[in-house]
């Protein structure tokens, strides 16, 4: 009875000591719980609590108390409240860090597209994989990590050696699976420092089982689809003895967190691997590598139940006996279970076919509706383009009319300017002709004046000679004759009193040069 406890204890604590020191793992677990646990006043992401959202009007003091309680769960440490929102952004919009969901969607977006041609998987065994981990039970208190390394050294290279002295168990990871199998087969039951060791493959908790797969899902597609959750060691589709697809597969991750994330995300959402609308049903899976079964030496023989059952050996029950009656009842119970299981499988198959037909019809209807929507969008786009074309045509026509109107106005203005220029030219020509006529007339008058002056001078000389020759003359004639001569010699000093004829004012001839300068 006491020899069975280490095995059970080892199974219980295996998940918490998978990757090394249990104290470090427990601390990591506490930190993870602190980050996701709401607490009494905290929100889902460690920010302000729900109490604060409902009581924002109670002032800054209450807000500060809620902030201080936001990251504190039941027994967890206090955390500083975050000022960003739960999507990983500052209040001012600055990007900080993406959430796991956003990272997952980014990876899916990168893997999106056709999966018709996928590269083949590398089936070579990886060194120090999770399948090569052995559980070592019933070890002594004086055994440490160095002792286990020396004990398993002849069977290959080992790493990640862990020993729990309080509960008398440990873990050892080999480089290859064949070495782990050989060590388990040859060293199981051997003594180490006075205690017989019990070896078996440790359940890593890194494997998942994927159900509800179509027949077109292969190992490569299963690996390609689930690698978004983390690094994968092995992915395989389960087949029957005829090589037929069973609709199930197994994916083994490198880390346990990746397996848990895959189970959580596929349970909360619908994850598809193909265009079919059959979602992947994911559940944890323990890979059983132990093919040795249960040897008789591992059964506690001091148990009273063991002694009672082993009193009688193998036999057939006699007909109509007590043993035969209850034996037949057990068989009927199992047959009933098999019948119900078969009927349930048939019903499940019928429901699957029905759902498949409904899915195909709904998919066809959805595609038809999508085509109708696309056609409606195209029609709307066509109408929009038609309106834009008509508007552009209208704008072009208006622009053409404006251009023609502007050109017409420019032509009218040009014609008006030409008419004005012609009128001005004609007026100038008329003025020039008049000026030339006046100039010619002035020249003629100047010539006549010159001729007249010559004639008067000639006549004056004759009169002077006559006056000189007269011995006597009255004073009146001499005075008149003298004034006439002064007026002829100085016409500008006459003051307008003398009337020497029509051409007395000889200063008129000076007006014509002024006119010439004006034009």
Instruction: Give the closest residue to 49 by CA, choosing from 72, 30, 29, 74.
Output: 72
pLDDT truncated to tens, each residue of the chain (519 aa)? 334 444 444 444 344 444 444 334 344 444 444 344 344 444 433 444 433 444 444 444 444 444 444 434 343 444 444 444 444 444 444 445 788 778 888 888 887 778 888 888 887 878 888 888 888 988 888 888 888 898 998 888 888 899 988 888 999 999 888 888 888 888 888 888 888 888 888 877 889 999 999 889 999 999 999 999 999 988 999 998 888 999 999 999 988 899 999 999 999 989 999 888 889 999 998 876 666 677 777 778 888 888 888 888 888 888 888 888 888 999 999 999 999 999 999 999 899 899 888 988 988 999 999 999 999 999 999 999 999 999 999 999 999 999 999 999 999 999 999 999 999 999 999 999 999 998 898 889 888 888 888 887 777 666 666 555 555 445 555 555 555 555 555 554 444 444 444 444 444 545 445 544 444
- Burial (CB < 10 A; 0-12, 13-18, 19+), residue 63, is middle
C-alpha distances in Å from residue 153, one per residue of 168, 172, 173? 21, 11, 12
C-alpha distances in Å from residue 190, one per residue of 167, 197, 288? 19, 6, 22
Asked if 21 contacts 164 with a C-beta cutoff of 8 angstroms, the reply is no
Across the chain, mean pLDDT equals 75
Concatenated DSSP letters for 445-496? HHHHHHHHHHHHHHHHHHHHHHHHH-S---HHHHHHHHHHHHHHH-GGGSTT
- pTM of the prediction? 0.52
Concatenated DSSP letters for 485-501? HHHHH-GGGSTT-----
C-alpha distances in Å from residue 253, one per residue of 234, 274, 475? 7, 21, 161
Instruction: Give the closest residue to 16 by CA, choosing from 188, 149, 169.
Output: 169
Asked if 45 contacts 170 with a C-beta cutoff of 8 angstroms, the reply is no
Cα 234 to Cα 287: distance, rounded to the nearest angstrom: 12
Cβ-based neighbours of 62, under 8 Å, separated by 6 or more: 52, 55
Cα 218 to Cα 249: distance, rounded to the nearest angstrom: 9
Asked if 187 contacts 197 with a C-beta cutoff of 8 angstroms, the reply is yes
Cα 380 to Cα 217: distance, rounded to the nearest angstrom: 41
């Amino acid at each position: 009875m006491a020899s069975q406890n280490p095995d059970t204890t080892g199974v219980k604590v295996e998940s918490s000591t998978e990757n090394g020191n249990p104290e470090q793992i427990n601390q990591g677990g506490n930190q993870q719980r602190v980050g996701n646990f709401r607490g009494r006043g905290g929100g889902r992401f460690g920010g302000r609590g729900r109490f604060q959202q409902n009581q924002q009007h109670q002032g800054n003091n209450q807000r500060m108390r809620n902030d201080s309680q936001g990251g504190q769960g039941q027994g967890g440490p206090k955390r500083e409240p975050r000022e960003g929102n739960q999507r990983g952004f500052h209040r001012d919009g600055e990007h900080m860090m993406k959430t796991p969901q956003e990272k997952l969607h980014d990876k899916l977006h990168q893997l999106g597209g056709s999966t018709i041609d996928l590269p083949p998987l590398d089936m070579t065994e990886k060194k120090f994989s999770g399948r090569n981990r052995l559980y070592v039970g019933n070890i002594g208190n004086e055994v440490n990590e160095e002792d286990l390394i020396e004990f398993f050294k002849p069977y290959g290279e080992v790493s990640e050696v862990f020993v729990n002295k309080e509960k008398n168990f440990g873990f050892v990871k080999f480089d290859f699976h064949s070495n782990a199998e050989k060590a388990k087969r040859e060293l199981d039951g051997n003594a180490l420092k006075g205690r017989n060791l019990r070896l078996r493959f440790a359940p890593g908790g890194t494997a998942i089982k994927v159900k509800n797969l179509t027949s077109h899902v292969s190992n490569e597609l299963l690996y390609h689809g689930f690698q978004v959750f983390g690094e994968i060691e092995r992915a395989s589709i389960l087949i029957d003895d005829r090589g037929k697809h069973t609709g199930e597969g197994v994916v083994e991750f490198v880390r346990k967190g990746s397996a848990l994330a895959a189970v959580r995300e596929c349970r909360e959402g619908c994850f598809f691997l193909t265009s079919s609308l059959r979602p992947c049903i994911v559940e944890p899976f323990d890979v059983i590598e132990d093919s040795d079964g249960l040897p008789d030496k591992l059964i506690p023989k001091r148990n009273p139940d063991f002694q009672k059952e082993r009193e009688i050996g193998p036999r057939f029950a006699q007909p109509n006996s007590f043993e035969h009656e209850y034996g037949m009842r057990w068989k009927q119970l199992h047959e009933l279970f098999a019948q119900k299981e078969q009927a349930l499988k048939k019903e499940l198959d019928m429901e699957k076919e029905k759902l498949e037909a409904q899915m195909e019809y709904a998919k066809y209807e959805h595609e038809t509706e999508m085509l109708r929507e696309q056609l409606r969008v195209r029609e709307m786009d066509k109408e929009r383009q038609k309106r834009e074309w008509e508007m552009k045509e209208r704008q072009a026509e208006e622009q053409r009319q404006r251009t023609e109107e502007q050109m017409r106005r420019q032509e009218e203005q040009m014609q008006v300017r030409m008419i004005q220029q012609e009128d001005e030219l004609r007026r100038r020509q008329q003025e020039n002709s008049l000026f030339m006529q006046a100039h010619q007339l002035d020249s003629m008058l100047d010539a006549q004046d010159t001729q007249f002056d010559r004639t008067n001078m000639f006549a004056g000389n004759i009169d002077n000679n006559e006056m000189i020759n007269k011995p006597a003359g009255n004073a009146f004639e001499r005075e008149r004759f003298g004034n006439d001569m002064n007026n002829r010699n100085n016409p500008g000093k006459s003051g307008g009193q003398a009337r020497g004829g029509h051409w007395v004012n000889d200063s008129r001839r000076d007006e014509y040069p002024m006119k010439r300068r004006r034009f």
